[in-house]
Amino acid sequence: MLRELKLRGTLGAVADALGYTPSAVSQQLAQLQREVGVPVVERAGRRLRLTEAGEVLAEHADVLLARAKRAEEAALAASGRVAGVVRLVGFQTALLHVLAPALPRLAEAYPELVVDVLDEEFHRVLQALVLQEIDVVLTDEYSHLPRPRRPELRAEVLITEVMRVGLPEDHPLAQDGGPVRMVDLAGCPWATGHVGTNHGDLLERTCVELGGFRPDVRYRSNDLMVIFSMVARGGAVCLVPDLALAEREEGIVVRDVAEARVDRRMVLWTRVGADVRPSVRAVLEELRRSADELVERRPSCIRGVR
């Protein structure tokens, strides 16, 4: 409970994570304080925070829980059995082009394995991985907007793809087949991802750094089909990854960015040591195999880092 309080910050969040009521958590922490003989938590406004003694105990809890997890994973590895649930979170194009082709092979080879999938982009996804709420994460990151690495997590770049400009087919800049300068798009309405997503942040940074302007964002969605519709019918422009296959959509023309190459990377994240579990290892191996096959089908993509 101390470890969860350190990570999550409130009694309510700890209760949700551990399956207790907030009052039960409070009672357990009070009992711990009595047993230890010194305060381990203190009030900070309407929240609880750890005292120095609480911080020391929480660090010991981290060590003990990590050892228990390693023991569990070692037992699973010794059994060699691929079974149970692997929880995976990913973004749209990664799930479509890398995970989906792997699922039939996993189902055929490992009938006792369940892959639980969530299509989601949120800031705390890597923290959820650290907290063991999920097992595997597929995120995107951009060449000039990388995600910070964490010592407790392993990050592997599966694929690198180029970002291009998506334009309505009747846009004046769509008539020439050459690259488009970002500065020439300063007066256009834009479609991009929700505020706080990597896609939304990328657009803002690319327009400022390469074009010298802030984009006029009129349409926001994390669904590429919605963004494509806003481009084809709403007169917007967008930055689109190669794997979105925007050139196949009616009413959209795709052009390279003239000023600089902007890449998107598909990154595979796991906890350090998690691949000892046969089930996680099986999923990771199939994801890598799918990435290999995707690059063969789509030579514009690069396996690993460009």
Q: pLDDT tens digits, the chain, 306 residues: what are they?
A: 888 888 887 888 888 878 888 888 888 888 888 888 888 888 877 777 888 888 888 888 877 877 776 677 667 667 778 888 899 999 999 999 999 999 999 999 999 899 999 988 766 788 889 888 899 999 999 887 788 888 889 999 999 999 999 999 999 998 888 999 999 999 999 999 998 888 888 999 999 999 999 999 999 998 899 999 999 999 999 999 999 998 899 999 999 999 999 999 999 999 998 888 889 999 999 999 999 999 999 999 999 987
Structure tokens at 219: 């349409």
What distance in Å separates the CA atoms of residue 275 and residue 105, rounded to the nearest whole number? 19
Measure CA of the first residue to CA of the last residue in the chain; give whole Å.
43
152, 130 Cβ separation under 8 angstroms: yes
